[in-house]
């Protein structure tokens, strides 16, 4: 199913500096319904927007949340693991197992985004401790076990650096066919956010991203081109707070922290909830329009390190004998996205 947007509706997407706009195509990602929820593992580095993405999944009958695994990214991995445990506790989902994964990239130095998300990863929000602990088997083994034992193929939403997913594909190559889809937040057709070339999740581990995009596993890349249209503002935060629940307060605080920072840095009155778009795409078939691209990750040490080079020009792909290896998000309905999030949080305690 395609989201039914036309190429002309790309008008407001200023972030894509390309003369060729690939038209919206049929999505390849599966999606869940209340009758047949999609089995999903979220691999995350919570993270302000990760926390909202996990809340969306935790609240939605279209998703069977099998696990949340963690990776170092926005904050140190031990903090991210503690955040995942505490968020699930606040969301009333202590039934969802958590396991800790890679502390940092496969190669090179560790990149963090604490200037964006705060030292703790979740701004200035404090969360009640969970009585659960992370599973001792670790993130990659837990994902492998779930892939092996779940009766149907499982979708993964990687919303942090791709280190765990690359390790999974290298350690358990026979399980790649058990992944129904990788709906990842990362990359950009256009400009990056950490550097002019690169988006954070990709530059935090470009070699891992390279393994993932070359893997042949079906991928949707929810990059900055679409996530910068998935915006919340002060009114959204007020609507979350007005829910009068613990989860609503948490979501409001996290959103306000991001809004304060954006206002200070750039005068912007909105904040992009990047990671929740990857989860939303697996729940709502016609929310995100995607186009097929061949995505290559720049792993050089130059100024384009971490860039996702997205080629969607049919002539060039034919000439070079390449096939698209990913659906790439291009358009989302902002109002519908905001309602989806607020409605989901309204179902949480």
Residues in the site for ligand BDR, rule: CB under 6 A?
Answer: 47, 49-50, 74, 113, 116, 159-160, 185, 193, 199-201, 274-275
Q: How far apart are CA 207 and CA 320, in angstroms?
A: 23
Q: Which of 228, 274, 281, 294 is catalytic?
A: 274
Nearest to 272 by CA among 337, 219, 329: 337
Does 274 qualify as catalytic in the annotation?
yes
Nearer to ligand BDR, 200 or 293 (CB): 200
Q: How far apart are CA 79 and CA 181, in angstroms?
A: 28
The nearest distance, CB 187 to ligand BDR, in angstroms, is 9
The nearest distance, CB 44 to Ca ion, in angstroms, is 6
The nearest distance, CB 30 to Ca ion, in angstroms, is 22
Residue 81's binding partner among Ca ion, ligand BDR, none (Cβ under 5 to 8 angstroms by kind) is none
Residue 193's binding partner among ligand BDR, Ca ion, none (Cβ under 5 to 8 angstroms by kind) is ligand BDR
Build a one-symbol-per-residue string for 136-155: x at contacts with Ca ion by CB under 5 A, - elsewhere.
--------------------
Nearer to ligand BDR, 240 or 254 (CB): 254
Nearer to Ca ion, 167 or 291 (CB): 167
C-beta atoms surrounding 118 within 10 Å: 20
Q: How far apart are CA 74 and CA 95, in angstroms?
A: 25
For residue 36 the two structure tokens come to: 């047949």
Q: How far apart are CA 241 and CA 252, in angstroms?
A: 5
| Member of 121, 160, 186, 306 binding Ca ion (CB under 5 A) | 160
Build a one-symbol-per-residue string for 28-57: x at contacts with Ca ion by CB under 5 A, - elsewhere.
-----------------x-x--x-------
Report yes or no: 226 and 27 within 8 Å, Cβ to Cβ. no
Report yes or no: 30 and 180 within 8 Å, Cβ to Cβ. yes
Q: Estimate to the nearest angstrom the gap between the alpha carbon of 324 and the chain centroid.
A: 20
Which residue has the closest beta carbon to ligand BDR? Answer: 200
**Contact positions with Ca ion (CB under 5 A) in 260-299:** 275
The nearest distance, CB 232 to Ca ion, in angstroms, is 16
Q: How far apart are CA 167 and CA 102, in angstroms?
A: 9
| Member of 41, 42, 71, 159 binding Ca ion (CB under 5 A) | 159
Distances (CA, A) of 184 to 108, 152, 213, 249, 267: 22, 20, 11, 27, 29
The nearest distance, CB 275 to Ca ion, in angstroms, is 5
C-beta atoms surrounding 211 within 10 Å: 21
Interface residues with Ca ion (CB under 5 A) are: 45, 47, 50, 159-160, 275
Active-site residue list: 274
């Amino acid at each position: 199913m395609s989201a039914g947007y036309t190429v002309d509706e790309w008008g407001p997407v200023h972030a894509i500096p390309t003369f060729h706009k690939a038209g919206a195509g049929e999505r390849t990602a599966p999606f869940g319904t209340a009758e047949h929820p999609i089995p999903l593992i979220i691999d995350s580095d919570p993270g302000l927007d990760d926390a909202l993405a996990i809340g969306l999944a935790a609240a939605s009958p279209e998703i069977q949340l099998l696990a949340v695994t963690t990776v170092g990214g926005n904050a140190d991995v031990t903090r991210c693991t503690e955040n995942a445990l505490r968020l699930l506790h606040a969301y009333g989902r202590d039934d969802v197992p958590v396991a800790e994964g890679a502390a940092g990239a496969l190669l090179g130095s560790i990149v963090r985004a604490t200037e964006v998300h705060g030292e703790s990863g979740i701004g200035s929000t404090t969360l009640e401790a969970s009585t659960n602990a992370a599973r001792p088997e670790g993130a990659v083994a837990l994902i492998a076990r779930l892939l092996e034992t779940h009766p149907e193929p499982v979708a993964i939403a990687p919303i942090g650096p791709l280190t765990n997913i690359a390790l999974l594909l290298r350690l358990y190559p026979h399980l790649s066919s058990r992944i129904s889809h990788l709906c990842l937040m990362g990359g950009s057709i256009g400009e990056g956010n950490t550097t002019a070339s690169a988006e954070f999740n990709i530059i935090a581990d470009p070699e891992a991203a390279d393994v993932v995009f070359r893997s042949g596993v079906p991928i949707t890349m929810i990059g900055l081109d679409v996530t910068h249209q998935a915006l919340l503002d002060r009114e959204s935060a007020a609507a979350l707070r007005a829910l009068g629940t613990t989860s609503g307060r948490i979501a409001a605080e996290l959103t306000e922290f991001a809004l304060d920072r954006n206002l200070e840095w750039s005068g912007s009155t909105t904040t992009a909830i990047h990671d929740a778009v990857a989860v939303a795409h697996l729940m709502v078939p016609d929310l995100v329009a995607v186009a097929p691209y061949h995505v290559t990750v720049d792993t050089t040490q130059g100024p384009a390190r971490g860039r996702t080079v997205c080629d969607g020009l049919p002539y060039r792909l034919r000439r070079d004998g390449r096939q698209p290896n990913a659906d790439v998000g291009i358009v989302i309905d902002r109002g519908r996205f905001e309602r989806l999030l607020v409605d989901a949080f309204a179902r949480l305690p």
